[in-house]
Amino acid sequence: MAVQVEIWTDINCPFCYLGKRRFESALAEFAHRDEVEVVHRSFELDPTLPAEHSGPVVAHIAQKYGISEAQAAANERGIGAQAEAMGLTYQTSGRDFGNSFDMHRLLHYALAHGRQEQLLDALYRGNFAEDRPLFGDTDRLVELAVQAGLDEADVRAVLADPQAYADAVRADEREAARLGATGVPFFVFDRTYGVSGAQPAEVFAQALERAWSDREPVLEVVGGADACGPDGCALPERG
């Protein structure tokens, strides 16, 4: 039996970007990595944003947390240093943020066509590694989806229909709430163990080992005498 790992994320979330790399580092070293199924789930950090909204991320962080833009910019540089240490490119200035609902709908479409992992990587790259706006730009989103191996006409058809895969996104978000997730990234191993945040790779390695060892109950056997088997029954000792 495979171990299933579900990962709730949002494209706006820099720690989801970092957490994915740390989890993948742990998975690459896991002896049973070929028997691990990874599924990405939807979580919107701010579902109230208008569909076409886009704005500078530094100003958004400053307003949201009540800090100066200089402090918000320093925070971005700190995250950038963490990303660089893992070999990830991270634009520390000029990034935007916005409504991610259409991205999540496309991720469900990509899942149905076996390209979810590729699309998520493309979206992360577009948001964090490339010096171009991402949110509120349909053509940019289509471009990244095509880079992930998806059909352009189908992608545009999904984006043109606001109901396409919307129920799947909402179902993921309800499930996240049911499981107690209040932020992302949020990792769930076989619906038994949860890991919250972009933890070190060692934490993910421990969770993988635990989920693997617990996927089937282990029976501890004590004794063995006074029993019958295919070859007969144990003979009682003569006094």
pTM assigned to the model:
0.88
pLDDT value, residue 207:
97
Least trusted range by pLDDT, from 33-47, 160-174, 223-237: 223-237
How many whole angstroms separate alpha carbon 126 and alpha carbon 56?
A: 15
In which band, very low, low, confident or very high, does the pLDDT at 51 lie, cut at 50, 70 and 90?
confident
Q: What is the pLDDT of residue 1?
A: 77
Mean pLDDT computed over 12-34: 98
Instruction: Please give the share of the chain, as a percent, with pLDDT higher than 70.
Output: 90
Checking if the pLDDT of 161 tops 70, the result is yes
Lowest-pLDDT choice from 16-25, 95-104, 211-220:
211-220
